[in-house]
């Protein structure tokens, strides 16, 4: 499972590479700078929609892949 803190760190690194401030990103996506800070710190409670807005704004992409599941896990679905 991907940790939100790792995703947040990647977002922050990319934002800094682009020489954008947290406030710049917040203004572009229409969120508060506090929300950008929460995302970069990997805090829970931020909607996936807001994560995706920020990810796309800094030129990143999230790819989903299929993982193998045990027979036990498959039975519970």
4-57: CATH homologous superfamily? lambda repressor-like DNA-binding domains (1.10.260.40)
Report the distance separating Cα 39 and Cα 74, nearest Å. Answer: 32
pLDDT at 61: 94
Report the distance separating Cα 65 and Cα 73, nearest Å. Answer: 17
Enumerate the domain spans of the chain. Answer: 4-57
At 65, give phi and psi (nearest 5°). Answer: -125, 155
pLDDT at 76: 54
Q: What is the pLDDT of residues 21-68, one digit of tens each?
A: 999 999 999 999 999 999 999 999 999 999 999 999 999 999 988 888
């Amino acid at each position: 499972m991907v940790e939100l803190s790792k995703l947040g760190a990647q977002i922050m690194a990319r934002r800094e590479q682009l020489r954008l401030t947290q406030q710049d990103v917040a203004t572009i996506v229409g969120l508060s700078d506090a929300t950008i800070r929460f995302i970069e710190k990997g805090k829970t409670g931020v909607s996936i929609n807001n994560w995706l807005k920020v990810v796309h704004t800094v030129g990143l992409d999230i790819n989903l892949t299929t993982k193998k599941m045990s027979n036990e896990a498959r039975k519970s679905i």
